[in-house]
Chains A and B, each alone.
Chain A
Amino acid sequence: SQQGEEDPQALSIQEGENATMNCSYKTSINNLQWYRQNSGRGLVHLILIRSNEREKHSGRLRVTLDTSKKSSSLLITASRAADTASYFCATRRDTGRRALTFGSGTRLQVQP
């Protein structure tokens, strides 16, 4: 079963606008990660936020985590056409194996 579920499933914006994607999960986690996948390619790690962190920044990316609501959001500011991709959240549970559980992804289209 999918641990994380992203919302929306698809998002289309204009270049320069901000893009916000949300992720909800079901069980207690050790950390939550966001990955990007360009069409036909493998996944690339973007950012990791631990369960004791509330917000993290990396360049134009801002991630928040609310463990009480079991949710996270990814904000991409000043989007570019090159940001067009699918974005996945992935969670590592707080016990057991290091394996990640992925959501079904948000497809982001940035129009030039």
Chain B
Amino acid sequence: DQQVKQNSPSLSVQEGRISILNCDYTNSMFDYFLWYKKYPAEGPTFLISISSIKDKNEDGRFTVFLNKSAKHLSLHIVPSQPGDSAVYFCADQAGTALIFGKGTTLSVSS
């Protein structure tokens, strides 16, 4: 069974609006979840993380929310910009390696 699930393959948002990307997980024992952003022909780059002892972490336009009872986390981007168009991966720090979801392609139109 997938440890990290991103059920929406794609999301389209208008510039200036909020983008919400979702991630569900099955592992009950974890330390951190991380979000990575990936542009075509480049490696993933770290965006934001959240630890198991927090419900929210904010960094500029990016906020990650963690709902432990629902085993769900979400990434909010406000306001969305065309440069945010990329693939976003949710990742679980499981043991010694990152376990990734399948990714969500975000398209922000101007």
Q: Do A and B assemble together?
A: no
Name A residues whose Cβ lies closer than 8 Å to a Cβ of B: none
Name B residues whose Cβ lies closer than 8 Å to a Cβ of A: none
